[in-house]
Amino acid sequence: MSSGEAPEGEGKRELFEGTALPFMRVLYNIALRLTHEPQDAADLVQETFLRAYRTFANFQPGTNCKAWLFTILYSIFVNQYRRAKRQPRMASIEELEERFRHFAQAPGDTASDVTTVEGWGWRWSPEVERALRQLPEDFRSPLLLVDVEGLSYEEAASVLGCAVGTVGSRLFRGRKLLFAMLQEYARQDGYDTGSSMDR
């Protein structure tokens, strides 16, 4: 559509419905994890699709439509929702990072071939959802985009409006913080049972 042949009217609507609307559930889930409120998430998704429709000529066919929609959603979120959101309660970042360092220095080792979804069984985890909600948004967004939604670092950087290196460093800290928060859950789940994970 960047070729200047943007369809109008019914053609545009049809193309938009076929290209963008299948991502409604994905958008709703990421909106829910950003806003924590179903009503806010639904409003955010509606506004995202409306803005995407108005600027559909900017979307380049063949590129990642999901990433393009995330860019719009995140921009609306930052401007309209983030300022109003309350800070989640969590242990301090320094405390969690210290907990992660302590874990890494503990005796024992982990087998390197067991940490896959299949190797660890497969079930929903409200614990992970709860921990993710407590992560500061700066760390939560890269995790959602890269680890949950499968975007590349470069695509995530474009969505978040930051450097690729920033995505990498926030992802690194976010993963460490999440592990520190989930250490007890991981142990109950069978992770690293042979070694100390005391805090």
Partner 1 sequence: MTDTTNHLGTTLQAFLDGRLAAARRSEVEAHLGKCPQCRRQLEALRWVRDVALKRLPGEDVPPALAGRVAAALDAAQERSRPAASLTRRRRWAKWAGAGALLAAAVLALLLVLLPRTNLPDAVARDFTEYGGGRLALDVRSSDGAAVESLFARGGIGFPTRVFDLGMMQYRLTGGLLHRLRDRPSALFAYRGPAGRDLVCQMYEGWLGDLPRTDDVREHNGIIFQVYRTRGLTLVFWQEGAVVCVLASDAESEAVIQLAYAKAVKV
Judged by CB under 8 A, the chain residues 24 through 43 that form the site for partner 1 are 24-26, 28-29, 32, 38, 42
Nearest to 67 by CA among 149, 147, 172: 149
Nearest to 172 by CA among 56, 93, 114: 93
Binding-site member from 53, 75, 85, 91 for partner 1 (CB under 8 A) = 53
Smallest separation (angstroms) from partner 1 to the CB of 87: 22
Distance from C-alpha of 81 to C-alpha of 32, rounded to nearest angstrom: 12
Q: Report the chain's C-alpha Rg in angstroms.
A: 20
Asked if residue 16 lies in contact with residue 10, where contact means CB atoms within 8 angstroms, the answer is no
- Where would I find the H helices in the chain? 9-19, 24-35, 38-54, 65-76, 93-105, 126-134, 137-142, 153-160, 164-181, 183-188
Smallest separation (angstroms) from partner 1 to the CB of 198: 14
Site string for partner 1, 149-188 (x = CB under 8 A): -x--x--------------xx-xx--xx-xx--x---x--
Using rule CB under 8 A, residue 112 touches partner 1:
yes
Counting residues that bind partner 1 (by CB under 8 A) gives 66
Residues contributing to the site for partner 1 (CB under 8 A): 8-9, 13, 16, 21-26, 28-29, 32, 38, 42, 45-46, 49-50, 53-54, 66, 100-101, 103-106, 108-112, 115-126, 128-129, 131-132, 143, 147-148, 150, 153, 168-169, 171-172, 175-176, 178-179, 182, 186, 191-192
